[in-house]
C-alpha cells in the first residue's frame, strides 16, 4: 500500500473516531437541548430588562454574607470619602496599619522580580550576599521567571521548602505532592469545602464565634453550617459536649456531618487551644468519621508562654494509630504572623491521609486556574525558609521579627486592659492571632433604640462608635455568638503610637454611650 493510501486511510479513521466521540457525547446528553416546555413552566429569565436582576440571582449567592466587609465597612468607606479619619480595625491587614515588610524578603523579591539586577556590576554593593544567593535559588524554582505559569499545585521547589518546614515544626514527614499552594489560605478552604459538600444535606461543623469565610463559603456551595459554641467562660476553649449535641441534632434531621473546622489560634476570639483540647477533637472526629479542617494561619501569632501553638498534625501523629491515620486538611498563609503580607496572596493546604484518588481530583480542580500566583508562592518560600543564624542578613531579620512580635504582645495587653477598664465590657486576653473580642453589656434603652432602627444591638453600637470616633470594628453578630450575648471584634494592629489613642477614643465614646442610654 502506498504512503498516500496509508495517509488517506489514517485520515478516514481519525474522522470516524471524532464522529464516534461526538456521537458518544451527544448520546450522554452532552450539549443536547432540553425537552420543550410550555410557556407557563418556563423560568423567568429577566426582570426590568435585566437578566442579572437582584431578584433573579443564585439564591446561595445572594444569601452569602461577609461581615468583615459588610455594612460597617461600607459606612466607613462613605465617611472616609467625606473626609473623616477612619481607623480600619475591622480586618487583619497589618501593612495597611503601618507594619513594615521584612527587609530581606523585599530584597530577594526585588531581585527575583527583576533578575537583570543580578547582572548589574554594583549588585553586591546594593544587596547582601545571602539575599543575592537566595534570589538565585528562588529563581531556579520558576522556569521562565515569575511571569510564567507553574505547576497547578505550585512550584515544586517551593512545595519542597514548605514540606521541610512542616517536618521541622512537627517532627513528622510531609510530602510536596500533598501540598497545594493557593492565592491565600481562603481559596484553599473553598477548594476543600467544594470537595466535601455534595448537596444541601451535607453539613460542616464550624466554631461559634467563627470567621465568616466559612459561613459564606458553605452558603455559596449549598451546604449546611453546623455551629458549635466555644466556651467564653474558659477563654474560648472548645466545648466537646456542644460539638456532640450539634452532631446528634444534625443527624436526627437527616444531615450528613462531613467536616469539622477549628481555628487555632482563634479568629475572632484570640485563644490558643491546648493539646488536650486538640486530642479530644481528634478522637471525636475519628470516632464519628468527620474530616478535620485545621485553620492554623495565626500559628506564629502567640503572645503568652504558657500555651504555645502545637499543630493538629503533630498532636494527631503523637497519638499514634488509629488517630494518626485520620483525614486532616491544614491551612497556612503569609498574610499573618510577623510578615502580614496580605496583598501578596500566598497560602497552602496540606492534605494528610487523603485518598490518592481525591488528591488527583483536587489537582484537576486546581488546574482549572492553571497555577497560583507566583509572587505569593515566592512569599511562602521566604516565610518558611528565612535567613539562617550566622548569615549576613540574620541579625537584621531577627531584630525586625522580634520587634513586630514584642509590639503585638504589648498591643494585645493594651487592648485587653483598656476594654476591661470600661463599665459593662469584659474581654479575655488575646493569647494569639490579631484580635480582641470584648463582650458588651448594653443598657436596655440602647437595645430598644437598635430595634427601632431594625438593627442588632451590637451593630447599632458599632455604627455609633464609627461615626463618633472613626474606629471601624465588626459586630459580634457577624461571627455568631450565643443568644443573649453581644460582642465586637477589633484588631490589635494599630501601631503603638496610635493604639493608646484608639483605646482612649473607645473609652470616651463608651462612657458617653452609657450616659446617653442609661
What is the H or E stretch that residue 47 is in?
none
Band (pLDDT 50/70/90 cuts) for residue 518 is confident
Asked, for residue 291, whether it belongs to a domain, the answer is yes
Is 26 a residue whose pLDDT tops 50?
no
| Mean pLDDT computed over 323-349 | 93
Asked, for residue 38, whether it belongs to a domain, the answer is no
Regarding whether 475 and 366 lie in a shared domain, the answer is: no
What is residue 259's predicted lDDT score, i.e. its pLDDT?
95
Provide the pairing of β-strand 224-231 with 202-208: parallel
pLDDT in tens, 469-501: 999 999 888 888 888 899 999 998 888 889 999
For residue 265, whether the previous peptide bond is cis, meaning omega lies within 30 degrees of 0, is yes
Asked, for residue 12, whether it belongs to a domain, the answer is no
Cβ atoms 492, 411 nearer than 8 A:
yes
Is 135 a residue whose pLDDT tops 90?
yes
Round to whole Å and give the CA distance between 281 and 292: 9
| Mean pLDDT computed over 222-229 | 92
Is 105 a residue whose pLDDT tops 90?
yes
Regarding whether 473 and 371 lie in a shared domain, the answer is: no
Regarding whether 380 and 510 lie in a shared domain, the answer is: no
Is 257 a residue whose pLDDT tops 90?
yes
Residue 432 DSSP label: B
Regarding whether 314 and 194 lie in a shared domain, the answer is: yes
Residue at a domain's end among 349, 384, 419 = 384
Cell of 182: 493557593
CATH of the domain at 419: 3.90.1150.10
Residue at a domain's end among 329, 356, 384 = 384
Band (pLDDT 50/70/90 cuts) for residue 8 is very low
What is residue 69's predicted lDDT score, i.e. its pLDDT?
63
Round to whole Å and give the CA distance between 186 and 509: 35
pLDDT in tens, 374-421: 999 999 999 999 999 999 999 999 999 999 999 999 999 999 999 999
Range of the domain at 319: 137-384
Band (pLDDT 50/70/90 cuts) for residue 34 is low
Regarding whether 489 and 513 lie in a shared domain, the answer is: yes
Asked, for residue 55, whether it belongs to a domain, the answer is no
Regarding whether 302 and 414 lie in a shared domain, the answer is: no
Asked, for residue 44, whether it belongs to a domain, the answer is no
Round to whole Å and give the CA distance between 14 and 124: 59
Asked, for residue 45, whether it belongs to a domain, the answer is no
pLDDT > 90 fraction of the chain, expressed in percent and rounded: 62
Asked, for residue 162, whether it belongs to a domain, the answer is yes
CA angle 167, 168, 174 (to 5 degrees): 10
What is residue 179's predicted lDDT score, i.e. its pLDDT?
97
What is residue 21's predicted lDDT score, i.e. its pLDDT?
42
Band (pLDDT 50/70/90 cuts) for residue 67 is low
Regarding whether 476 and 411 lie in a shared domain, the answer is: yes
Band (pLDDT 50/70/90 cuts) for residue 20 is very low
Asked, for residue 47, whether it belongs to a domain, the answer is no
Regarding whether 294 and 264 lie in a shared domain, the answer is: yes
* DSSP count for the chain of H helices, then E strands: 18, 15
Regarding whether 272 and 212 lie in a shared domain, the answer is: yes
pLDDT in tens, 282-304: 999 999 999 999 999 999 999 98
| Mean pLDDT computed over 353-368 | 90
Q: Mean pLDDT score of the chain, rounded to an integer?
A: 87
CATH of the domain at 257: 3.40.640.10
Band (pLDDT 50/70/90 cuts) for residue 15 is very low
pLDDT in tens, 350-360: 999 999 999 98
Count the domains in the chain: 2
Within 13 A of 202's CA, how many CA atoms are on the CB side?
A: 17
Residue at a domain's end among 335, 362, 384 = 384
Round to whole Å and give the CA distance between 502 and 482: 27
- Number of Cβ within 10 Å of residue 446's Cβ equals 20
Counting every residue written for the chain, the total comes to 518
Amino acid at each position: 500500500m502506498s504512503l498516500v493510501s496509508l495517509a488517506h486511510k489514517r485520515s478516514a479513521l481519525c474522522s470516524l473516531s471524532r464522529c464516534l466521540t461526538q456521537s458518544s457525547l451527544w448520546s450522554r446528553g452532552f450539549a443536547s437541548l432540553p425537552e420543550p416546555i410550555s410557556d407557563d413552566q418556563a423560568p423567568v429569565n429577566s426582570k426590568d430588562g435585566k437578566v442579572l436582576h437582584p431578584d433573579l440571582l443564585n439564591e446561595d449567592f445572594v444569601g452569602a454574607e461577609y461581615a468583615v466587609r459588610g455594612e460597617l465597612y461600607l459606612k466607613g468607606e462613605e465617611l472616609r470619602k467625606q473626609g473623616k479619619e477612619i481607623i480600619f480595625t475591622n480586618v487583619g491587614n497589618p501593612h495597611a496599619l503601618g507594619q513594615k515588610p521584612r527587609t530581606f524578603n523585599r530584597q530577594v523579591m526585588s531581585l527575583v522580580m527583576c533578575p537583570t539586577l543580578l547582572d548589574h556590576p554594583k549588585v553586591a554593593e546594593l544587596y547582601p550576599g545571602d539575599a543575592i544567593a537566595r534570589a538565585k535559588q528562588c529563581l531556579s524554582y520558576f522556569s521562565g521567571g515569575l511571569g510564567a505559569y507553574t505547576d497547578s499545585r505550585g512550584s515544586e521547589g517551593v512545595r519542597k521548602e514548605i514540606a521541610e518546614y512542616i517536618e521541622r515544626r512537627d517532627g513528622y514527614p510531609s510530602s510536596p505532592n500533598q501540598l497545594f499552594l493557593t492565592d491565600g489560605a481562603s481559596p484553599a478552604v473553598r477548594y476543600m469545602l467544594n470537595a466535601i459538600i455534595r448537596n444541601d444535606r451535607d453539613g460542616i461543623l464550624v466554631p461559634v464565634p467563627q470567621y465568616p469565610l466559612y459561613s459564606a463559603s458553605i452558603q455559596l456551595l449549598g451546604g449546611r453550617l453546623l455551629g458549635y459554641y466555644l466556651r467564653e467562660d474558659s477563654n474560648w476553649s472548645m466545648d466537646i459536649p456542644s460539638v456532640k449535641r450539634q452532631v446528634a441534632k444534625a443527624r436526627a434531621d437527616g444531615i450528613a456531618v462531613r467536616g469539622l473546622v477549628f481555628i487555632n489560634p482563634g479568629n475572632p476570639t484570640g485563644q490558643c487551644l491546648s493539646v488536650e483540647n486538640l486530642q479530644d477533637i481528634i478522637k471525636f472526629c475519628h470516632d464519628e468519621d468527620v474530616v478535620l479542617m485545621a485553620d492554623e494561619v495565626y500559628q506564629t501569632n502567640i503572645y503568652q508562654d504558657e500555651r504555645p501553638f502545637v499543630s493538629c498534625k503533630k498532636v494527631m501523629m503523637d497519638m499514634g494509630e488509629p488517630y494518626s491515620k485520620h483525614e486532616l486538611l491544614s491551612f497556612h498563609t503569609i498574610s499573618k504572623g510577623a510578615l502580614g503580607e496580605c496583598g501578596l496572596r500566598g497560602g497552602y493546604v496540606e492534605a494528610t491521609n487523603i485518598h490518592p484518588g481525591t488528591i488527583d481530583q483536587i489537582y484537576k480542580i486546581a488546574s482549572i486556574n492553571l497555577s497560583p500566583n507566583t509572587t505569593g508562592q515566592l512569599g511562602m518560600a521566604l516565610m518558611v525558609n528565612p535567613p539562617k543564624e550566622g548569615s549576613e542578613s540574620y541579625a537584621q531579620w531577627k531584630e525586625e521579627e522580634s520587634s513586630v512580635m514584642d509590639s503585638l504582645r504589648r498591643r494585645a495587653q493594651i487592648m485587653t486592659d483598656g476594654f476591661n477598664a470600661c463599665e459593662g465590657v469584659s474581654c479575655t486576653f488575646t493569647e494569639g492571632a490579631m484580635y480582641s473580642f470584648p463582650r458588651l453589656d448594653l443598657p436596655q434603652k440602647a437595645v430598644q433604640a437598635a430595634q427601632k432602627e431594625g438593627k442588632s444591638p451590637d451593630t447599632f453600637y458599632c455604627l455609633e462608635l464609627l461615626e463618633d470616633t472613626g474606629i471601624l470594628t465588626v459586630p459580634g453578630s457577624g461571627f455568631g455568638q450565643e443568644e443573649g450575648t453581644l460582642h465586637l471584634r477589633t484588631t490589635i494592629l494599630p501601631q503603638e503610637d496610635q493604639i493608646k489613642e484608639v483605646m482612649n477614643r473607645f473609652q470616651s465614646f463608651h462612657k458617653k454611650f452609657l450616659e446617653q442610654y442609661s
